[in-house]
Amino acid sequence: MVENGLIENFKFSKFQITIKAKDTLALPRYKGSTFRGGFGNSFKKVVCINRGNICDECMLKEKCVYAYIFETPVPENSDIMRKYRYCPHPFIIEPPKNTKTAFKSGEELAFGLVLIGKAIDYLPYFIYTFEELGKIGIGKGRGKYELVKVTSRGSGTESEGNSIYSGDKKVLKSNFKTLTLDDIQSPANSAGISLNFTTPTRIVYDTQLTLDLEFHILIRALLRRISLLSYFHCGTDISDLDFKGIIEKSKNIETSNSSLKWYDWERYSARQDTRMKLGGFKGEVTFEGEMKDFMPFILLGEQAHVGKGTSFGLGEYEIT
């Protein structure tokens, strides 16, 4: 049995950022790469004082806001992932769900931002960076925009809450909530669950990207993501959980229906000077079996996404 207390320190906050086009914005159908890529470049210009060096060679990397947020190095004294250069990013940019590709001057669009653990303290950096990005421009032709407002969001599907920042007044309020597992409402039915994956989801199992999503594969990915985010960004080591036992039990859950289909998309990486294919599955899948022990991870995964490329908004699902 999973005790919620073991992951009660997993904290996150959710926001909606509304922008208004000043020029015509020419954006791709999936806008996650545009916003995340533009954010990274703008963030470095805002906070980096040693732009000539890459983060690995910079003596300030252990204390640098950019390195923590965007490069997210594994600390030297870490008990886990010491063979890896980077740990999971503590932020998620959730792009607009519409596939519209052209926004005329004066049109508004909104996207989500999720900050996890210590990254919540850096919300002012995110807001300022997105304002600066609007002056630089995004998408094909570098169309410029202005940041209209930032609102807080709850853990559910509601799009707006308290207004915490106005592009006109330039004052950031602190009237937003830091959320935990206790703030997420669990579905009443514990004998089965349906998940709708709304953005391309890239889950690797046995060295391969998976399309036929078995429940134990999903649980493995959620355990990994939640445990790493907890350790590196929320200051909590949840390795005392019986991961092996949870995974073994998850193999008893069956797939009763699946409409998952592969969705291909590409992004250009300026750092690697190459185009990258980042396809993943989308659609709905239904699992049957006793869900009680798995719900804490499924609920947190609905907020924190799952799989690879989450900072681009990949791996988003809804409990339907």
Whole-number Å distance between alpha carbons of 220 and 228? 12
Give residue 1's pLDDT band: very low, low, confident or very high (50, 70, 90): very low
* Amino acid in the structure at residue 62: E
pLDDT higher than threshold 50 for residue 309: yes
pLDDT higher than threshold 50 for residue 181: yes
Burial class (CB in 10 A: 0-12, 13-18, 19+), 261: exposed
- Mean pLDDT of the 177-205 span: 91
The helix (H) or strand (E) run that includes residue 216 is helix 215-233
The pLDDT mean for the chain works out to 88
Bridge partners (DSSP) listed for residue 192: 288
Higher confidence at residue 40 or residue 78?
40
Report angle CA 134, 58, 42 to the nearest 5 degrees. Answer: 5
Give the per-residue pLDDT at 229: 95
Higher confidence at residue 274 or residue 86?
86
Whole-number Å distance between alpha carbons of 257 and 317? 16
- Mean pLDDT of the 170-181 span: 92
pLDDT higher than threshold 60 for residue 34: yes
- Mean pLDDT of the 290-318 span: 95
What are the φ and ψ backbone dihedral angles of 258, each rounded to 5 degrees? Answer: -150, 130
- Please tell me the least confidently modeled range out of 78-92, 132-146, 172-186, 234-248: 78-92
Tokens of 127: 């807001």
Whole-number Å distance between alpha carbons of 22 and 145? 5
Give residue 51's pLDDT band: very low, low, confident or very high (50, 70, 90): low
Give the per-residue pLDDT at 117: 97
What are the φ and ψ backbone dihedral angles of 233, each rounded to 5 degrees? Answer: -120, -15
pLDDT higher than threshold 60 for residue 223: yes
What are the φ and ψ backbone dihedral angles of 243, each rounded to 5 degrees? Answer: -60, -45
* SS3 assignment, position 293: helix
pLDDT higher than threshold 80 for residue 39: yes
Higher confidence at residue 187 or residue 17?
17
- Mean pLDDT of the 195-200 span: 96
| DSSP string covering 65-117 | HHIIIII-BPPTT-SS-TT-SB---SEEEE--S----EE-TT-EEEEEEEEEG
pLDDT higher than threshold 90 for residue 59: no
Give the per-residue pLDDT at 272: 52
Handedness of CA 257, 29, 150, 308 (dihedral sign): positive
Give the per-residue pLDDT at 314: 96
Q: How many residues does the chain have?
A: 320
- Report in angstroms the alpha-carbon separations of 126 from 152, 170, 185: 14, 14, 28
Give the per-residue pLDDT at 155: 75
Q: Under a CB-based contact definition with an 8 Å cutoff, are residues 204 and 53 in contact?
A: no
